[in-house]
Amino acid sequence: MMDGGASFFAAPRIKAKRNETVKRLESESFSKEIHRPAMPDETLREEIKEMMVENLMLKVTKEEIADDLPLFGPGGLGLDSIDALELVVSLEKKYGVSVANSEIARQALATVNSIHDYVVANRK
């Protein structure tokens, strides 16, 4: 009986302490930022191609995607607006990079090189 009563009275103190810790961590900037080490350019380009092949379920291999190949439209890889949305979500999940609007997306998602440059410039 004593053990049950002791834990009952200790619970509010533990909860208060936890809430203080959470507030402190939320207020410290390091807890909100994602720090990723820089990676060599070619490694990042290869990761981007791999992400595209896997997430967009492309029928080509990453080796078949040239760094400067247009990703959208005729004469390119032939991606569509659904693919663009999936790319934006994938970039945010994998690299912490968000795309603010459709005009930025049009420029940033034009080629593997443009995605690479956008990730490098905007990575957190």
- My answer on whether 110 and 56 are in the same domain is yes
- My answer on whether 49 and 104 are in the same domain is yes
pTM for the complete prediction? 0.68
- Among 4-13, 24-33, 113-122, which is the least confidently predicted range? 24-33
- My answer on whether 24 and 68 are in the same domain is no
Which class for 58: exposed (0-12), middle (13-18), buried (19 or more C-beta within 10 A)? middle
- Among 10-14, 69-73, 114-118, which is the least confidently predicted range? 10-14
- My answer on whether 21 and 46 are in the same domain is no
- My answer on whether 87 and 59 are in the same domain is yes
Domain extent, residue 114, equals 41-122
- My answer on whether 112 and 90 are in the same domain is yes
Residue 61 domain flag? yes
Residue 57 domain flag? yes
The average confidence (pLDDT) of the chain is 81
pLDDT in tens, 26-79: 554 433 444 445 567 889 999 999 999 999 999 999 999 999 999 998 889 999
Give CA–CA dist 124/35, Å, rounded. 6
